[in-house]
């Protein structure tokens, strides 16, 4: 792209600018698949306006430059998944608005403000289908608090686990029975960070049959829900698609 920008911040080693006009769009620019991918919209994605082939080349170059002093060879980016609809985990926030309603979604770029997301092209359909019923359930809960966090994890069978940090975990757990069965939600975990988590529904789901006995329960709110497999041997480095967001 050849663009006209307005500088909004100057730092010692870089400047930050906002787009004013795209004078000459690049042939690698494409229409984003998500309507929330726009200035002031959802900050969960940064690459949707770039053609996939160009994305992969740029991401590969980022890794090459980062590891140049330590690694002799970086293998090409592995992409054994479709361009969209493949992520099996998500970390979302919720926030009460000025009317007492609840927004469940991702943070706006460079802010802590939550943008409501009822669907997400990045997620597998089973996981994307959880967003609307979970947001509705949170909106109906009393004492939900001004903000919070929910983590979602989808197993290979389409079962979904939801992990929520809540101050009144036991009270919330009793109300969670209504969530089970909605949009493939198989289990819900609540934790207040002080006591043992309370689990409603299934205590474990299968994440990867190829790895053998790999049944895992819902992720605790303080721990990532899954593991990125990465092989590193000698002076070579393997990179996989799930190392990057769109």
Burial string for 84-96 (b: 16+ CB within 10 Å, else e) reads beebbbbbbbbbb
Rounded CA separation 123/51 (Å): 19
pLDDT above 50: residue 217: no
* Beta strand ranges found along 99-226 (DSSP E): 102-107, 114-116, 147-154, 160-165, 185-191, 198-201, 205-206, 215-216
Averaged pLDDT for residues 226-242:
43
Tens digit of pLDDT for each residue in 137-161?
998 887 777 888 999 999 988 999 9
Q: What is the mean pLDDT of the chain?
A: 83
Other beta carbons within 10 Å of 169 = 19
Rounded CA separation 141/60 (Å): 44
Residues ≥6 apart with Cβ < 8 Å to 72: 235, 236
What residues pair up with 200 in beta bridges, in sequence order? Answer: 188
Q: Which of 161, 114, 121 is nearest to 139 (CA)?
A: 114
Return the pLDDT at 239. Answer: 55
Residues ≥6 apart with Cβ < 8 Å to 79: 56, 241
Q: Which of 127, 203, 113 is nearest to 160 (CA)?
A: 127
Q: How far is CA 236 from CA 65, 104, 191, 229, 239, in A?
A: 14, 41, 41, 15, 10
Rounded CA separation 33/122 (Å): 10
CB–CB of 160/127 below 8 Å? yes
Calculate the CA 19 to chain-centre distance: 25
Tens digit of pLDDT for each residue in 79-108?
778 889 999 999 999 998 888 889 999 999
Tens digit of pLDDT for each residue in 17-40?
988 999 999 999 999 999 999 888
* DSSP conformation letters of 163-189: EEE-TTHHHHHHHGGGTTTGGGEEEEE
Q: Which of 243, 230, 241 is nearest to 83 (CA)?
A: 241
Q: How far is CA 93 from CA 40, 127, 152, 162, in A?
A: 17, 15, 11, 13
Q: Place 237 in a pLDDT band, splitting at 50, 70 and 90.
A: low
């Amino acid at each position: 792209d050849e663009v006209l920008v307005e500088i909004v911040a100057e730092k010692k080693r870089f400047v930050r600018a906002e787009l004013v006009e795209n004078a000459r769009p690049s042939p690698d620019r494409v229409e984003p698949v998500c309507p929330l991918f726009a200035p002031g919209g959802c900050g969960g994605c940064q690459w949707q306006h770039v053609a996939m082939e160009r994305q992969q080349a740029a991401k590969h170059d980022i890794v090459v430059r980062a590891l140049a002093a330590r690694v002799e060879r970086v293998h090409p980016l592995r992409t054994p998944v479709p361009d969209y609809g493949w992520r099996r985990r998500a970390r979302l926030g919720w926030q009460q608005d000025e009317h007492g309603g609840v927004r469940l979604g991702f943070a706006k770029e460079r802010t802590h403000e939550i943008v409501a997301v009822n669907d997400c092209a990045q997620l597998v359909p089973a996981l994307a289908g959880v967003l609307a019923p979970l947001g509705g359930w949170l909106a109906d809960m009393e004492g939900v608090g001004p903000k919070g966090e929910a983590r979602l994890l989808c197993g290979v069978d389409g079962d979904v686990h939801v992990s929520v940090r809540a101050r009144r975990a036991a009270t919330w757990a009793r109300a969670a029975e209504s969530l089970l069965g909605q949009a493939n939600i198989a289990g819900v975990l609540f934790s207040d960070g002080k006591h043992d988590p309370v689990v409603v529904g299934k205590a474990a789901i299968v994440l990867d049959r190829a790895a053998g006995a790999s049944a895992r329960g819902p992720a605790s709110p303080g721990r990532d829900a899954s593991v990125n497999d990465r092989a590193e041997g000698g002076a070579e480095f393997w990179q996989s698609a799930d190392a990057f967001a769109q």
